[in-house]
Amino acid sequence: QAQTKMAAMMDLERTYIMIKPDGVQRGLIGDIVKRFEQKGFKLVAAKLYSPSRAHFEKHYEDLKGKKFFPSMIDYMITGPVFCMVWAGKGAVKTGRKMLGETNPADSLPGSIRGDFCIDIGRNICHGSDTVENAEKEIALWFPEGTNAWTSHSQGWIYE
């Protein structure tokens, strides 16, 4: 019972992490997945996917009107993206820290953007910025739902 309750709590927070076309092209899927796995977050959904322009426009609807918006969407539709949902305590905030700053030039070494990229328009990954936006993004990218499972490491990651 206590075990089930702990599992439910640890799974409550989920974040949407996406490897953009440049990250896929540059063979960085494995490195990025590895960091989230090693941290202790739990993968509950993943797929390689080539969505429409309209789908990306919906995902980035808050940025409509920005000068960089059209070229950013052009870049996003150049190839497949790798879509993931990671679950765990503090997954949204910690996920953002693991990605680094939006501009790779401001990202510390040790972060994904700090280690793997240079330009803001080729920053290889996306991560949800709030719990509310994470749930919206998960609904948009995984209408089929995510996978419930219990990690055997759970008791070694959470106290």
Catalytic residues: 126
Task: Determine, following the binding rule CB under 6 A, whether residue 57 of this chain makes contact with ligand UDP.
Answer: no
Residue with Cβ nearer ligand UDP (10 or 125): 125
Kindly determine how many residues on this chain lie close enough to bind ligand UDP according to the rule CB under 6 A. 9
Task: Determine, following the binding rule CB under 6 A, whether residue 123 of this chain makes contact with ligand UDP.
Answer: yes
Annotated ligand binding at 4? The verdict is no
Task: Determine, following the binding rule CB under 6 A, whether residue 126 of this chain makes contact with ligand UDP.
Answer: yes
Instruction: Calculate the dihedral angle through the C-alpha atoms of 128, 112, 40, 13, rounding to the nearest 10 degrees.
Output: -10
Task: Determine, following the binding rule CB under 6 A, whether residue 6 of this chain makes contact with ligand UDP.
Answer: no
Q: In angstroms, what is the minimal distance from the CB of 142 to ligand UDP?
A: 19
Assess contact for 134 and 92: CB atoms under 8 A: yes
Task: Determine, following the binding rule CB under 6 A, whether residue 121 of this chain makes contact with ligand UDP.
Answer: yes
Other Cβ atoms closer than 10 A to 14:
24
Residue with Cβ nearer ligand UDP (33 or 72): 72
SS (H, E, C) 44-105: EEEEEECCCHHHHHHHCHHHCCCCCHHHHHHHHCCCCEEEEEEECCCHHHHHHHHHCCCCHH
Assess contact for 42 and 108: CB atoms under 8 A: no
Which residues here bind ligand UDP, judged by CB under 6 A?
A: 63, 68, 72, 102, 120-121, 123, 126, 129
Annotated binding residues, written as ranges, equal 20, 68, 96, 102, 113, 123
Annotated binding residues for ATP, written as ranges, equal 20, 68, 96, 102, 113, 123
